Amino acid sequence: MGKGSGRRHHSKTDVLRAAVVLLHAAMEDLLRSIAYWKLPSASSEVLSGIPLVSKTPAIKFTLGDLVAFRGQGVDEIIQSSVEGFLERSNYNNTTDISSLLINVGIDVTKVNPYYPALDLVMSRRHQIVHRADRDDKAAGKGKHNITSIGVNTVEKWATEVKAFGDSVLAEL
């Protein structure tokens, strides 16, 4: 990233910010892929939280609402409903992650040791994406408007996210 003392200009560390965003996206993709696989065969209690295709939020529906699905089997409707739900899903905190993992039958106590690192990744991703990684508290000489980020931090987070993913997959 460069040699010498002092802090690097944000334009030289923007690739690290992009890496944080992509790291979060990769984690979400893993979770969503598991959800696509497992949720269609989940219990009625879990499926009750997923709206019928084109119904938002999950609400009661009438027989008239089922007319649009004539000729389809129940499994097809469940699959389509899960897919529609997951198209709008995201995992922005460990509560969201735990909810999904519980719904697909994973014991979260086996994977929650990774939650502190995941919280840091998700929080920083939010700051990068929604606040341009601004440090609004910075003021005075030597203070910067953009929050510092380093290679070691991003590499550590990548290691933790990978270990989390491996742990989740081991529980399936």
Indicate if the pLDDT at residue 66 is higher than 90.
Answer: no
pLDDT digits over 107-136, tens only?
999 999 999 999 999 999 999 999 999 887
The pLDDT score that the predictor gives to residue 137 is 73
How far is the C-alpha of 133 from the C-alpha of 150, rounded, in Å?
Answer: 13
CB contact at 8 A, 31 and 169: no
How far is the C-alpha of 124 from the C-alpha of 17, rounded, in Å?
Answer: 9
Indicate if the pLDDT at residue 57 is higher than 70.
Answer: no
* Confidence band of 3 (pLDDT split at 50, 70, 90): low
The pLDDT score that the predictor gives to residue 12 is 78
Mean pLDDT over 21-36 rounds to 97
CB contact at 8 A, 13 and 20: no
Indicate if the pLDDT at residue 20 is higher than 50.
Answer: yes
Vertex 13: Cα angle to 10 and 15 (nearest 5): 125
Mean pLDDT over 67-93 rounds to 91
The pLDDT score that the predictor gives to residue 1 is 46
User: By C-alpha distance, which of 34, 41, 39, 20 is closest to 125?
Assistant: 20
CB contact at 8 A, 129 and 73: no
The pLDDT score that the predictor gives to residue 9 is 60
CB contact at 8 A, 107 and 171: yes
Most confident of 41-50, 79-88, 143-152, 157-166: 157-166
Residue 20 CB coordination number (10 Å): 23
Rounded to the nearest angstrom, the gap between the alpha carbon of residue 119 and the centroid of all alpha carbons in its chain is: 11
